Amino acid sequence: MTGIALDSPDPAADHAELRDKGADADAHLMGGDGTVPLLFFTQGHQGCGHAHVSTRPAQRPGMAVPRPRGSAGAPPGGGGQSSM
């Protein structure tokens, strides 16, 4: 592994394209469950591996996009009154 991670706005499309072109890529995508970004690994011809990682929070169909804290109607910090 080289330690190089490549950002991808659409890892599923990149994965399919690379596999269609004969690249040595993981058989399946991993992550994308909201706790880990969607990603896959490729192996270069000299044994160097690269991670291809999603730049979007959720990629799989039917998955909810996580909300940032405080976005459920209350301002960040809980919306309570200050005691100052």
- The string of DSSP codes covering 58-84 is --STTPPPPPPTT-SSSPTT-SPPP--
Residue in 36, 62, 64 with CA at minimum distance from that of residue 51: 36
Is residue 66, in this structure, part of any structural domain at all?
no
Residues 57 and 67: their CA atoms lie apart, in Å, by: 9
Residues 78 and 61: their CA atoms lie apart, in Å, by: 31
Is residue 32, in this structure, part of any structural domain at all?
yes
Q: Who's near 22: CB < 8 A, 6+ residues apart? A: none
Task: Write out the residue range of the structural domain in which residue 47 sits.
Answer: 5-54
Is residue 63, in this structure, part of any structural domain at all?
no
Of 15-24, 26-35, 75-84, which has the strongest mean pLDDT? 15-24
Q: What is the pLDDT of residues 43-77, one digit of tens each?
A: 877 777 888 888 875 545 555 444 555 545 544 55
Give how many domains the chain has, as a whole number: 1
Is residue 71, in this structure, part of any structural domain at all?
no
Please give the average per-residue pLDDT across 4-19, as a whole number. 91
